[in-house]
Each structure stands twice: as structure tokens, then as C-alpha cells.
Structure 1
Amino acid sequence: MTGRRRGTSAGLDRGQIAVAAVALVDRHGLDRFGVRRLADDLGVDPMSIYHHIKGKAALLDAICEAVIAEVELGDDQTTQDWEQAARRTAHSYRQMAYRHPRVFPLLVTRPQSSPVALAVLERLVAAMRRAGLPDQVTADAPVTLFGFLNGYLTAVLSGGPDGPSQMPALDSSAYPTLAAVAHFQADFGSAAEFERLLDTVLCGIRHQAARRSSETP
């Protein structure tokens, strides 16, 4: 193809490809993402991409790694208690999701076992073990925390890049109890709501840790 660079002479590396792929999904969404479109953006032949990343599945994984790398781990991991570590991770993860709402579904639907993803979990688990939390609670905590984060952020970001979806109006005659408390959800998707729900999750982990510690002979 005239004007396109090929092979190793294209001057690409995996990181550059991943960054360009994230930008492409940010603009057009996953439905319109493809290797040929990415190659057009980079000005290379598609085979130049496959030289570094073997197949579309691997490319999607590289996209996930690129956005997870944006989640801050903190500067001094030894001084943070486990709740500080969990809270900072959660807020940084939320900020990343808001920056990349069209990429975020990949994080929910694909296994996240890359080194960058494991580094995020390692920081949280290490902080919990330093705090002396029971190992079962420590093992359950990442599933609990990221189960909440992925489910909540998926719901909030379902409106796409235009912003959080709004809670639907309820028929008070059919759902009187839900309608009675609906005004408490008026801040759906807000930072205040996120902090409130995160507090509930962390309180649950803290309660489980205290309960299991009290059961240990």
C-alpha cells in the first residue's frame, strides 16, 4: 500500500500501538474499532501491528493494560493503611473509567491478569496483610471492591461519553416504596454518591475482618 510503512521499519512498539488504540476507541467506540482502522491512524500496514501484537484479542488486552496503567498506586505504599490504599485505588479507577467510558466495558468483560492489573491488586492485598486482616478477608476484598466498582461504573457510564445515565422515573402507584426513596438517588453518578457507596463497601470489609478476627482462637 503506497505511503504506508511496513514491518519493523515502521518504528512502532507495543506501547505506541496501545495508546493509539485507546484513542481510537475513545473517539469511535468498540463497535467501530478494528486493526485496519488503527493501521490507518498510525499510517502503517496492518501487518506492522501484528508484528508487535498477535491478533485482535491481544490488541484488546493491550488496550486494557494501557488504561489500567493510569490507575495510581501511590508513592509510598508502606505508610498507607489498607483503607487508604483501597480508597485511593477506587477513586483513581473511577477517574480512569470516566476518561475512557467507551474502553471501560473491556475491563469488565475480559479477564484482567496482566502485570499492570496484578500490580494494582498486589498493592491492595499487601496493605491488608500489613494491617493484619485475616487472610480470607484479604483474599475476598479485591473481588468485593472491584465487583462494586465494575458494576456501579458500568451502570453510571451506560450513557456513554455524554455522561452518567439518569435513573428512570418511577410509577408511585406501582412501586410506592421505591418511589418514596427515589429522591435519595438524585445524585446518581456523582462523586458524593460514589464516596457514600464506597464507604458501605469498605465498612463491610472492615466488619468481616473484625468478625473473623474475633472467631480466631
Structure 2
Amino acid sequence: MARRTQGTSAGLDRERIAAAAVALVDRDGLERFGVRRLAEELGVDPMSIYHHIKGKAALLDAISEAVLAEVAPATHDASHGWQEIARRTAHAYRETAYRHPQVFPLLATRAQTSPVALAALERLVTAMREAGLPDQVVADAPMTLFGFLNGYLMAVLNGGSGGGGAMPAIDATTYPTMAALAPLQAGFGSVEEFDRILGTVLGGILDRARAAGGGHDVRSV
């Protein structure tokens, strides 16, 4: 593709650059991603990209924001209670991770402070406060939820499981309890396993809220 000149004459904007960057990472991975390769993909001079996005770190943030925008619709209905918002957000996040496994490490390892990320969290924590959960529990909830999501999804994606995979066999002589529990751990990476563990995480948040709430009315919804 022939290169075009620098600046706005190339017809670029932040959204077009971010979309092309996501497609490039999806195809070739983060290890091969760079501004020069992206410029070649767009047919522009690298300085044209810097005119809109100031540096590679900002470009990685733009990639994250573009992918997180796919999660945002799951949080938009404020009529749902906090657990339903959390579940919808978590499942949309999982689906996005499977669509963009090469991009997902950016979501898991970089601070997500874009407007789209903060707006989704704002809807969740607002619903939690409206349900009467104590502020400290609400403040801890995003880290609790996304700590689980990022760790779980990184493990599944690194293991190459699209859902329903098997865990390695365990020596029953050396680890009898783990071997006995192994049938209950079938379906590694499946939506059923994901939803079950997510329920444990959300139940833990609710139990902590009730323990810390004293005489306050703490609702599960």
C-alpha cells in the first residue's frame, strides 16, 4: 500500500487508528505490533499517527479502549440490580477476551482509566451503593471482580482453551484429595465453570457486605 502524507490529509482520526491497531494485534500479536507496522497497514507516514495519538503507550491505551467499548453495552441498563450488572459485565468481558485473545493482556496488565472503562465501573458501583452495600465493600468490588476476571481469563487463554477443556490428570496416590475433586473441575474454561466461580465471587462480596453492614439493609439485587 502506498504511503500518504503526514497529518490530517491522510484522512485519519483516533477511532480509525485504534480500529486498525486492534485488527493488527488480533492478526499478528502484541509482540510484533509497532507504530511503523501500523503506519504501513494504514498506508501513512508514522508521524500521521502521532498527530492523533501521542506515543506508543497512548496507542496501547486506545487499543484497550476500543476493545472495552464492546463490553460497555452490557452495563447500560440501570434498571438491573448490581449483581445482574456485574454478571452481564463479566460475561461480556469474557466474550470480548475470546474475540481478542491477543489484545486481552493489555486489559489485564494496564490500568484501565479511559472514559468507557470508568463509565462501566460507575454504573456498577452506583448500583451497589443504591442496594445499601457499605462504601468500603463497594470501593473494593472492582478490584475483587476484575482480579478474578483477569486472572481466570489469562489462565484460560494461555492454556489455549476455548471452553470445555480438561485439566491435567492428577496422581491420586500423591494428591488423593485433589484427585477426588478433579471430576468437579471438568470443563475448564467453559461458560458453566465461569458462571459458577463468578457466583462464588459475587456471593463473597454480598456476604462481606452483610457482615459489614450492621443494621443497614443490604440487598442482593
For the aligned pair, the TM-score class normalised by the smaller chain equals over 0.9
Structure 1: 4+ residue segments shifted above 4 A: none
Distance 1:3 1:213 in 2: 62
- Name the counterpart of 1:76: 77
**Alignment CA distance shift 1:121-1:75 (3 Å):** closer
What whole-Å deviation, never above 9, does each CA across 1:33-64 have from its counterpart, x for those lacking one? Answer: 11111111111111111111111111111111
Following superposition, the deviation at residue 177 of structure 1 comes to 1.7
Distance 1:120 1:153 in 2: 19
SS at match of 1:163: coil
Following superposition, the deviation at residue 163 of structure 1 comes to 3.2
- Between the two proteins, what is the percent identity of the paired residues? 69
Following superposition, the deviation at residue 169 of structure 1 comes to 2.2
- Name the counterpart of 1:141: 141
Count residues in correspondence.
Answer: 214
- TM (norm. structure 2) is 0.91
Distance 2:183 2:74 in 1: 36
* Structure 1: stretches of 5+ with no match in the other structure: none
- Name the counterpart of 1:98: 98
Instruction: Tell whether 2:39 aligns with 1:39.
Output: yes
Contact 1:39 1:49 in 2 (8 A): yes
Instruction: Tell whether 2:152 aligns with 1:175.
Output: no
Q: Please tell me the residue identity of whatever aligns with 1:109.
A: T
**Alignment CA distance shift 1:18-1:138 (3 Å):** same
Q: Please tell me the residue identity of whatever aligns with 2:193.
A: E
SS at match of 1:98: helix
What whole-Å deviation, never above 9, does each CA across 1:77-113 have from its counterpart, x for those lacking one? Answer: 1x11111111111111111111111100011111111
- Name the counterpart of 1:125: 125
Contact 2:7 2:47 in 1 (8 A): yes
Contact 1:73 1:123 in 2 (8 A): no
What whole-Å deviation, never above 9, does each CA across 1:121-180 have from its counterpart, x for those lacking one? Answer: 1010011011111111111111111111011111111135x7357522222222222122
- Name the counterpart of 2:219: none
- Name the counterpart of 2:207: 207
Distance 1:181 1:131 in 2: 36
Instruction: Tell whether 2:162 aligns with 1:163.
Output: yes
Distance 2:157 2:194 in 1: 13
Contact 1:129 1:138 in 2 (8 A): yes
Contact 1:82 1:124 in 2 (8 A): yes
Contact 1:5 1:43 in 2 (8 A): no
Q: Which structure has the highest helix share of the two?
A: 1
Q: Please tell me the residue identity of whatever aligns with 2:124.
A: L
- Name the counterpart of 1:50: 50
SS at match of 1:31: coil
Following superposition, the deviation at residue 75 of structure 1 comes to 4.2
CA RMSD in angstroms, aligned pairs only: 1.8
Higher relative contact order (CA 8 A, sep 6+): 2
